[in-house]
Structure 1
Amino acid sequence: MTAETPLLEIASLIEEAGGRDLHACMQCGTCTGVCPWPLVETFSPRRVFREMSLGLEGWEAEAVWRCVTCRACVQRCPRGLDITGIMQSARTVLQQSGAAPRGLTVPLASLRTQGNPWEGDRTDRID
């Protein structure tokens, strides 16, 4: 078993979680060209897809959480891939494996238990 095997297994889990188009990306870079996020910080959806599909280390760090799901990439993708859907599937897999960024762990847990991201019961926030 190599160090790459678990990451390739995660790529398979992403596909099973709804990211079926992961390996269909032809790496044209159109998604990166229309993505608004690189105006703020370095981010390349194309690179994230490449790293995910090859099972390379590092893609899971913060990259999939930077996608704002504006769907500009989906509208321009020459293959019609649901890029935001794949990013959301990757987030789901990472969250289920306990690899969500620390700043999201508490709000996500609160959403599950309280129905809101603000820790605590809704009625307590009224006071």
Structure 2
Amino acid sequence: MPKPMTIGVLARDSGVNLETIRFYERSGLLPTPQRSAAGYRHYQAGDLRRLRFIRRGRELGFSLDEIRSLLELAEQPQSPCASADELVQEHLSGIAARIRDLQNMQAELQKIAGCQSGYAEHCRLLEALDSRDCCD
């Protein structure tokens, strides 16, 4: 039987900090680990794989509930993956919308950047935030 990992080793090998690991345990995403006689958490290789799965899901923007669903799907390898693909399509749509919003913000900020006024009274940013006409 492989040697169990401590929470510190699990954190290091997974790239997830200790408090996040404990949070994932409390929320049920990561199973409650066995404990040593001294009360230390002992993790197995499967816990490391699961934690990496969760971390990668978070990096891709999935919510904890979505990751929970994906974990359930991963535990049933013969199940169809249509629901996972639907989730990906929803995320792609959301990302596209966020990109459009960011591009709009960028365009607005470019309009007001480079103000030459020496005084806050005519600062382009302050005027834009106050819905006044910006000075040229």
Please report the TM-score for the alignment, with normalisation by the length of structure 1.
0.28
In terms of Rg, which structure is larger?
A: 2
Please report the TM-score for the alignment, with normalisation by the length of structure 2.
0.27
